[in-house]
Structure 1
């Protein structure tokens, strides 16, 4: 069987990402390894949000809250290990378990309340919960408040993975992306995924044939929150820093832009969207041109905004629309 052009392009992208650290070592510039590591983490978070928006029709403006929860678990653990000498709080597996559990509980609470509403009310409630967590983090002076919290020691994975090695961390992130891509592929194509998509299309019909949309949506909401919490765990170890800004609703907006840019209801769309968003941000913000004493790069959003509008107007499913034989992933 001949592989489709879409399959070849997606496979080529993954192969390129797999060999990227060796290419940057050869070029003698590790900057791009760090940049792409950040892109892949945000792609993981965007993939989890795409489960809600692209397949479930649930537009959440509070998804970044779970990233913040996962990141703060690492930050708080490192803080107490450094300040109070509680070494076990640096245990990466304990931190990971706490990050996933904390994200799941918070997603369950937020989902249980917000999913009883629809449309703009759902959007506003998810954003309100995100802002509550944001301002809670801002108000805790012990953990740096709005100045954030520096992580002096990364998670200790007991010698199995050295997160202090940038290449090891990169491959943990890359393998995590592959796992999440596979999970989403299986999940969306499963009977559970069919119910989620069916509920988005016609909730009344799904009820008529015996399904409870609320339970399925809540389960999807928790799954998405847990994956985003894992992305936060990775982000904290990559940045060696965590701050309340990770939870701000605008960060959720960035994830939504990545999904729209890459293509909703597409397996690889969030990855393409994250790559395009971060690379454009890096390139546009580096423009040295000065007009009237103002450096254009400092106002890169004014250039990016019209580009996004054009994509929405002329490519209804984002970058995914430009791929050969474009079609929704099964």
Structure 2
């Protein structure tokens, strides 16, 4: 029988904190060592990481498998374009909150109706709402149809923060990712976050304890939608272009794969999953490595994800723990642990 040390949990928490601090420090240093392509790629990954964090709040924390997250992402992106004036750069101080509020409002509507269902019905309702938003921008002049819309002038905050400059945009994206991660970390440690964890573990028991679970789940939906809207806003500003594919179910599936690949139930898992997914995608798309097979990159990516899920059921975030378990599982390790317990 294996016994865990009382300090194992504290050591694991310290290790996670050190990993997150090192990761953000490394991201901050990327512009110093990478070229334009590297800065653009890492900037895109950080946007997807914010997007993955938004879904992690629903799936990994609350246990709500939403298959319409791309709708909130796309609303934030389209809001950045549609609300921007054509003659001058929009004010960042009002445009960003407006895009997040629009995404949060639609998330509130979706959550208010879909949370009355359960299981596969909940998944299908969220998908249906996402498809409704998709067809609004795809089939009406509002979203420019299949051609999409260009963002002619990127927003700015006076002369201090001009997002038309790549390094300024990178720094702003980094700050948004750090703020999103810190906000969710504090949220999950609060009474609200513990209530969401209880709902995921046993919603009926939470109701018996006197908690009205519906408002908690709806609030989680709204917060998740706002963060997805933030990611969509940054994506639109980075590319200067939006199209209906930003609201498609393919993107909802991709971000769900990100958090599963990284490891459900961990905020850092969303970061790891976003980086792993995009880097694997770029790797299999490389014609320098795979030649003509690069056009079938979906096959290689899919097989890799299947192997990761089969071999790492806890996701990439669980790799260090898996290695520790293998070390402790050795005969010498078991004898030492049992001896400590006996003493």
TM-score higher than 0.5 here? yes
Listed one character per residue, the Cα deviations across residues 218-255 of structure 1 (whole Å, up to 9, x for unaligned) are 00000000011111111111010011110111101111
Question: Which residue of 1 is the match for residue 331 of structure 2?
Answer: none
**2:181 maps to 1:171:** no
Question: Which residue of 2 is the match for residue 64 of structure 1?
Answer: 70
Q: State TM-score, norm by structure 1.
A: 0.90
**2:307 maps to 1:310:** yes
Alignment CA distance shift 1:142-1:116 (3 Å): closer
CA drift of 1:184 comes to 1.1
Q: What is the DSSP-based 3-state SS (H/G/I as helix, E as strand, rest coil) of the residue aligned with 2:162?
A: coil
Q: State TM-score, norm by structure 2.
A: 0.87
Alignment CA distance shift 1:326-1:196 (3 Å): farther
**2:47 maps to 1:20:** no
Q: Identify the structure with the greater helix proportion.
A: 2
CA distance in 2, matches of 1:313, 1:289: 26
CA distance in 2, matches of 1:326, 1:103: 41
Q: How many residues align?
A: 314
CA drift of 1:290 comes to 6.9
State which of 290, 293, 296 in structure 2 corresponds to 1:296: 293
**2:99 maps to 1:93:** no
Structure 2 segments unaligned to the other structure (5+ residues):
1-9, 325-343
Alignment CA distance shift 1:195-1:6 (3 Å): closer
Q: What is the DSSP-based 3-state SS (H/G/I as helix, E as strand, rest coil) of the residue aligned with 2:83?
A: helix
Are the aligned partners of 2:103 and 2:226 in contact in 1 as well (CA < 8 Å)?
Answer: yes
Question: Which residue of 2 is the match for residue 115 of structure 1?
Answer: 115
Q: What is the DSSP-based 3-state SS (H/G/I as helix, E as strand, rest coil) of the residue aligned with 2:156?
A: coil
CA drift of 1:8 comes to 3.1
CA distance in 2, matches of 1:65, 1:299: 27
The structure having more radius of gyration, on CA atoms, is 2
Listed one character per residue, the Cα deviations across residues 262-317 of structure 1 (whole Å, up to 9, x for unaligned) are 111012001100101111111110134678xxx21111111111211111112112
CA distance in 2, matches of 1:41, 1:149: 20
CA distance in 2, matches of 1:143, 1:314: 42
Q: What is the DSSP-based 3-state SS (H/G/I as helix, E as strand, rest coil) of the residue aligned with 1:59?
A: coil
Alignment CA distance shift 1:184-1:177 (3 Å): same
Are the aligned partners of 1:155 and 1:163 in contact in 2 as well (CA < 8 Å)?
Answer: yes
Structure 1 segments unaligned to the other structure (5+ residues):
none
Question: Which residue of 1 is the match for residue 209 of structure 2?
Answer: 209
**2:166 maps to 1:156:** no
Question: Which residue of 1 is the match for residue 79 of structure 2?
Answer: 73
Q: What is the DSSP-based 3-state SS (H/G/I as helix, E as strand, rest coil) of the residue aligned with 1:137?
A: helix
CA drift of 1:324 comes to 5.0
Question: Which residue of 1 is the match for residue 6 of structure 2?
Answer: none
Are the aligned partners of 2:78 and 2:143 in contact in 1 as well (CA < 8 Å)?
Answer: no
CA drift of 1:159 comes to 2.1
Listed one character per residue, the Cα deviations across residues 105-148 of structure 1 (whole Å, up to 9, x for unaligned) are 11110000000011100100000000000000012235421111
**2:80 maps to 1:103:** no
Question: Which residue of 1 is the match for residue 20 of structure 2?
Answer: 10
State which of 31, 41, 44 in structure 1 corresponds to 2:37: 31
Are the aligned partners of 1:6 and 1:324 in contact in 2 as well (CA < 8 Å)?
Answer: no
Alpha-carbon RMSD across the aligned residues, in angstroms, is 1.9
CA distance in 1, matches of 2:83, 2:183: 29
Are the aligned partners of 1:46 and 1:256 in contact in 2 as well (CA < 8 Å)?
Answer: yes
Alignment CA distance shift 1:16-1:112 (3 Å): same
CA distance in 1, matches of 2:290, 2:99: 44
Q: What is the DSSP-based 3-state SS (H/G/I as helix, E as strand, rest coil) of the residue aligned with 1:134?
A: helix
CA drift of 1:43 comes to 0.4
Which segment drifts farther, 151-160 or 59-68?
151-160
Are the aligned partners of 2:263 and 2:270 in contact in 1 as well (CA < 8 Å)?
Answer: yes
Are the aligned partners of 2:262 and 2:270 in contact in 1 as well (CA < 8 Å)?
Answer: yes
